[in-house]
Structure 1
Amino acid sequence: SFPYHVGEYGQAPTPQTLDSPDLSAQVVRTGQVLLRTPDTAGDHAAVGRDSLNWLGVPLNAKKGVIGALVVKNDRAEARYAQKDVELLQFVSTQAATAIERKQMEIWLQHIARHDPLTDLPNRELFYDRLQTALLGAKRNQTLLSLLNIDLDRFKQVNDTLGHPVGDLLLQEVARRLKQCVRESDTVGRVGGDEFLVLLHDLPLPEDAMIVAEKIRVALGQRYDLADQRVHISPSIGVALYPGHGDDYKQLIRYADEAMYDAKKNGGNRFQVTSGPRASGV
């Protein structure tokens, strides 16, 4: 849980699990109103400081109980009554609706910019991050690299083992790619079996090649998917800023061309772009 706390006494409580003896957790577990007064037996510890009077009501949403709304005080004469329960239930209904609406808004924004299969950034979000990274690299005079990754003979996996296994393979590829890079880097799926990797703030151009080789080795390891053993390899194209261009479309094109060069040369390798090419080449 992530409690929000306002009061003149004590500090905000620490997050609790639903199986804790905390009164707020009990409200969430049971979905029932819980009232504690000085006459009520039991533990008066709620959130933060021990309280003489404690009232909690569940935050009921369409998908079930999503939290608890709690009020408390430390004055024996200020006891909560049925009218307080009814008022807090009214407020909790409004709060739950607002929370649920915000959660839906966040979820819709997320799915609009992420691949539904792998949950990686999609093309739109990846390109936005690439453009932002380029602006930062220009301002700070730092290096970045773009890797274009395509799986060799992925169509054969779909044709022989079926699309469900192909989907599992893509999900595992996404997981391995994220393990090969830093938290500050970005891995995206931009279509089919094509992935892009954005490497920020590289100390040296050679570091991009080190990561590309790390990815090649990681993706080349055996996959155990739905009782099937799958072997696949990647073709990787590498482009660098500022060495190969200062525009995101240029870098995308050069990384794409380098990836196809790697594939033409047999796959299971990375290829650094040679930069601009003559028309028709």
Structure 2
Amino acid sequence: MDTTINPLGDGVYEIDTRMAGYTGITAGYLILSDRPCLVEPGTAGSAPVVRQALSELGVGAADLATVVVTHIHLDHAGGVGDIAGMYPEAEVVVHEKGARHLASPERLMRSARMVYGDSLDTLFGELKPTEAARIRAVEDTGVIDLGGGRRLESYHSPGHAKHHVGLLDSQSGDLYVGDAAGVYIPETQDVRPATPPPDFDLDAALKSLRKFQELGPQRLLFAHFGPVSEVDGTLERSAEELRVWVDAVRDARDLGLDLDHAVAMVRDRTHERYAVTRKGADPELSAKYEVLSSAEANVAGIMHSLDQHA
């Protein structure tokens, strides 16, 4: 099994978790500290890839101390149950609003199947339950001990999801942003929104981005995809893109457009903003990111939010 491991310094390793076989679309991170910690295990289908990568980095079944997820969406946390089974000593850390779904994922999986249908199995696989006694729920803030005085500090950062947290490494200054800062496309340096239903909330999302800036991180580590050193500019761009998309969807909604027509209008208004969707863009790259964060899902999430606030 091929693995792609990228050393980022300070004992941090990016692992391409290969969602649905795609490369460069979902990243997990191993912090190889005194108490090794895996951030974002990825999908259920990614679990064998992650185990192979950890093995190559010298982390055996009894060595992993902690698994942390920024939120419980299946591209980030679908593999938690599998990884918990492979690493029986690891504690699983998640925000309190997501903890019950890791212990009893049936409702989450039913909802996901309603959205994705038969493609769910190909994209994500099945989230297996994790023993409740192994799950530690954090609240607005929390601390994960990485050993040797090193800490991973969690900060509740809703907007993309109610159960989302950002994670700041006390030693490296890395901030694991999950989906709260959107999707970063390393091939083009684009930042695009991630606003799926049912939790998207613009005000909460912008507040979370301001919190991230106040934390003063040295680097942003995106689950989609990779490290970014231009912290302030990237977070400002993320906020700008959110406002652009919400304004576009609001205009479509005010015109009484249905979802399909709203998507078409938003695509027309925003495609020039991103190298990945401009005329002449690599069609494979465009298709890859449409699978990950489709315009339809983003528009649907914004429309749902506007309806909730109407």
Please give the range of the TM-score, normalised by the shorter of the 2 chains: under 0.3
Q: TM-score, length-normalised on structure 2?
A: 0.22
Q: TM-score, length-normalised on structure 1?
A: 0.24
Structure label with greater radius of gyration: 1
